[in-house]
Structure 1
Amino acid sequence: MQPNVIVKPAAEKFMRRMVRFSGLGAEAGFRLTVTAGGCSGYNAEFTVEGAPLAGDEVLPVGDLNVFLPAESRLLLDGVTIDFADTPSSTGLSFHNPNAGACGCSSSSGTSAQPPGIATVDISAIRRS
């Protein structure tokens, strides 16, 4: 089942660069694993893989292959994925218009992410 997910151009560019610089070849793809949890409702990891793993579905984004495990497909339905590069954070962000607000805040006194927004910092990059 293909999720109804929107990948914004900045996120696609980031994913494409990760795959290209991996050196794994034309069949390689960006594997995105999203699980429930965290303040915004998402925990996410990504890797670049030479081929989809068992149970992954390939989501074509232009000529880029995004490999999604089953649970990720369910959680990403209706989500917009973008990429942000700001002085305070760099990474993918996930916007779910159906998510509720988070009631927590960080210890530094700053407010929490807007409802339904999750970010994955580029430090989460792993190469398999």
Structure 2
Amino acid sequence: MLPNVIVKAGAEKFMRRMVRFAGLGAEAGFRLTVTTGGCSGYSAEFTVEGTPRDGDEVLPVGDLNVFLPAESRLLLEGVTIDFADTPSASGLSFHNPNAGACGCSSSSGTSAQPPGVATVDISAIRRT
């Protein structure tokens, strides 16, 4: 079952560019693997792949295919995916309005992400 997830225009544009530049054909898609971890609650990796893997479901975002494995579908329920481009980092960001605040000391200070927000740096890109 596909999650109730919002993909903002900036994230869609980034995903679409990655798929287009990979040159893998019309059936290619952006595979997003999300796991639990870290203060934000999320750790994510993504690849551009020619076809979905066994167990993946395809989330259509316009004419873009986003391949989601089962564990990612569960974690993305209610999440908004966007693209952040700041002087210090660029990448996908995930906002879960239902996530609680982090209890560790590393999140204190003004530079910390708001509760439930994770960022995936573009250096995580891999082509398979």
TM-score where L is the length of structure 2: 0.95
Gaps of 5+ in 1: none
Deviation at 1:38, TM superposition (A): 1.3
1:3 partnered with 2:3:
yes
- Give the aligned length: 127
2:14 partner SS: helix
Instruction: Look up the match of 1:112.
Output: 112
Instruction: Look up the match of 1:48.
Output: 48
Instruction: Look up the match of 1:65.
Output: 65
2:75 partner SS: helix
Instruction: Look up the match of 1:127.
Output: 127
1:101 partnered with 2:109:
no
Gaps of 5+ in 2: none
**8 A contact 1:102–1:112 mirrored in 2:** no
Deviation at 1:111, TM superposition (A): 3.9
**Identity across the alignment (%):** 88
The CA distance in 1 between the partners of 2:31 and 2:82, in whole Å, is 15
Cα RMSD of the aligned pairs, angstroms, is: 1.4
Deviation at 1:52, TM superposition (A): 0.1
Runs of 4 or more, structure 1, over 3 Å off, are none
The CA distance in 1 between the partners of 2:110 and 2:124, in whole Å, is 23
Instruction: Look up the match of 1:84.
Output: 84
TM-score where L is the length of structure 1: 0.95
Give deviations 1:85-107, integer Å, cap 9, x for gaps. 1101100000000001123326x
